[in-house]
Structure formats: structure tokens, C-alpha cells
Amino acid sequence: MPVTINAHQLGRLIDRTIGHIGDEFTEPLHGIRLEADAAFLYSVASDRYTVAVARYRHDGLDAAEPFARTLPAGCLPSLREWIGAQPGSDPVGITLAEGRVRFTTPRSELGIAVDDMVRVRVTADQQAILIVGEGFLGAQMPARARRDGVGTDTLTTLDQVHDAWQHALSAGEATTMADGIPAEPGRRRYEAVESITETVEDLLKHTLRTTHDLFSTDISSQAFAAYAASGVMAWSAYRYLEALHRADPKLAAAVVAETAGQLDDGAIGEWAWDAAKSAGHDPEKWQAEFDKQLARRKNGSVQPGQDQAIAAV
């Protein structure tokens, strides 16, 4: 079973580590190390002075088939160009062939010749980084920690690293959830949802409900316009969220959680006004146009809800 990751996330793994690869005079470090275990796909690079590791929780890998291969620096521009040519949401399957790493999407395939050279591991708090390769064993001492400029120490102690990278530091063993973990407390009826799954469910339910009500309502009524606008917005939000989740699931989850906080706060009208201004729009003009619609409706020149229904549909 191949490792599966979408093209957007694979490109991010490459981009976040490519600046740390060693030069051509240090062949074992002249490239990016691609490693996979039961939960994560890692991209590792080192130039002897710095070590960069990026990871992504992949969608599938047989726990008995972890792998580690070094992608030579010379192939990385071609790989990155190939990744960029794929739609970001397309799944990329990564498998090993004889002397190659093969990348496969629904539209194309790319094979790269590789060698099994270097594995990098953190050994202990502020101690040497262990570098292991075939017929080679090395160690690299870390630089002393500095502060981040706001009075907070960066990730330096073993406990901090262990908390942030618990799975990576467990020798590639699959982590298991302990029994008896209490369920999250139920969401109150008036609180906005914070999870992708619940948000998708709510948006689809709302679209179906408003569509049903739309076709059973007089087209000239204000209710028809409200149902039409509400259904259109719910369906649009679902499609946008679906696309974002395919391209970057972590960003999608963060956006949903942040949006839930804004909805619970209740100041979305003010934020929408500021967002419109920042995007170069003219919300004052929008308000003036809406006031004109209300005036025409009051004078009887437009049936109630007709102008909004036409705009919404």
C-alpha cells in the first residue's frame, strides 16, 4: 500500500526543507531524505550545520512497510516542477521500486533513482544528533538555544521536543490511543461547530432544507428570497470548504475553528465590513444600493423579495 499525500502537501514538504540540503561535496547530504512510518511522511535535510525536518500525517501505509530514501539534489527541481503541474488536491501515491521512488497521480507518474544513505535522529536533550548510513555513523552537536526575541525559549529541551514530536521520536512505532479516553462534551445548541465533519454536515443539511422550502414557497414572497440566498450561500460554503480540505486539511480545520469563534462572538458584521474595505470594495456603496432596493419595494415598483430572489439565484 503506497503512502498517500496530496500534491499541495508534498510540495510543502519539499519547500520547507530544500534550503537545508548539503552541497555537492557532501554526497550523503546532497538531497532530501524522504521517510515514512506508520503515521507520518517526513522530509529531512541537513547541511552539517542545520537540520530541517518537515512531516505530514499521511493517508495510508501498511505498518510493516516503512521506508527511507534520499532524493538526490539534482532531481529536486524536476520533482518540484512535476508536483506544481498537478492539481493541489490530487492524491500522490509514493511507492518504492528497484532503486527508485515512484510518484503516481491519477494523471501522471514520475520515477526517481535513489540511494539508501542517511538517517537522522535526535538522541537526547542538547546532545548530539545521530546520523546513520550504510557503513557510516556520525554525530552533530546542536548549537546552544537562543531566545525568540519575545522572552520565550524556542523548542530546545527533550521534554519540549518529545511533546511536539512524540511519534517521530518513538522509533517509527505506531502510536495507539489509550482506552477510556473521555468523550468531548457535547456542543450547546447555540454554539457554532468547530470540526470539519460537523460543519460539512450542517452545510449540506441547510442546503437541502432550504431547497425543499424554496420550492414550496411563493416566488413573490420575501421568504422565497431568503431561502434562495441561504441555500446558495450554504452550498457555496460547502464547496469552498471541500476544496480547501482537499488542498490543506490542517488549514481547513484551523479556518473552521477560527470561524466558529467569530460566529460565537457575534461581531461578523463589523468583520465583514472591515474585510470588504481591505479587499478594495466599497461597502458604503453596497449599503446605498440596498437602501434603494428597500425604497423601490416600499413604493411598490418591485414586488417584495423579487429583486433579492433574482440576485440570489
Name which residue leads in pLDDT, 60 or 77: 77
Q: What is the mean pLDDT of the chain?
A: 77
- The yes-or-no verdict on residue 8 having pLDDT over 80 is yes
Nearest to 48 by CA among 155, 156, 141: 141
Kindly state which CATH superfamily the domain 3-143+157-164 is placed in: DNA Polymerase III, subunit A, domain 2 (3.10.150.10)
Q: Rounded distance, CA 245 to CA 235, Å?
A: 15
- The yes-or-no verdict on residue 177 having pLDDT over 50 is no
Could you read off the pLDDT of 118-175 as tens digits, one per residue?
A: 566 767 767 777 777 666 677 777 665 554 444 445 555 666 766 766 666 555 454 4
Q: Rounded distance, CA 84 to CA 213, Å?
A: 44
Residues 178 and 212 sit within 8 Å (Cβ to Cβ) = no
Size of the chain in residues: 313
Residue 83 binned pLDDT confidence (cut-offs 50, 70, 90): very high
Range from 56-60, 154-158, 302-306 that averages highest in pLDDT:
56-60
Residue 188 binned pLDDT confidence (cut-offs 50, 70, 90): low
pLDDT at 45: 92
Name which residue leads in pLDDT, 182 or 190: 190
Per DSSP, which regions of the chain are E strands?
A: 3-6, 31-36, 40-46, 51-57, 67-72, 91-97, 100-104, 109-113, 118-122, 129-133, 136-140
Region 78-85 average pLDDT: 91
Q: Where are the domains of the chain?
A: 3-143+157-164, 196-312
pTM score over 0.75: no
pLDDT at 302: 55
